[in-house]
Amino acid sequence: MEDDTNLEFWVQQVDKQALVGLRLSDRTMRHRTYKIYHLPGSLRPTIAWALVCLSSVEDGDTFLDPMFRARTILIERAMAGRHKMLIEGDISQDAIAQARANFGSRHKPWNIREWAPH
């Protein structure tokens, strides 16, 4: 789909039923500039934003994402408002390195941890 479109929708037909979807977000929601690295299995920013909204974000809270991959959820939480601490962890050193590159020096304080594999 072209990025300059005004309307985007999908229709998926299964047997006698059809599911129709309509995109409600603009290009800035789909293509976040903080995503330097995209890891397989990392969430799209729209899904990460929805999860943050469902977590009932409050100013000054501590937010934990125990399996972060590319830090999409944590960055979306950081952009949602003030926080006391952002905490994440993963067992993959590659994921940790790429996540640090995505997060940079923004949205402090944050703490990234390498979880011990079992």
Q: Phi/psi of residue 11, each to 5°? A: -130, 125
Question: What pTM, to 2 d.p., does this model score?
Answer: 0.67
Question: What is the domain partition of the chain in residue ranges?
Answer: 9-114
Read off the pLDDT of residues 33-86 as tens digits, 9 standing for 90 and up. Answer: 666 666 667 777 888 889 999 999 899 999 998 776 667 888 889 889 899 999
pLDDT tier, 5 (very low <50, low <70, confident <90, very high otherwise): low
Classify domain 9-114 by CATH number.
3.40.50.150
Strand order in the sheet with 110-114: 61-65, 83-90, 110-114
Pairwise pLDDT comparison (52 vs 104), residue with the higher score: 52
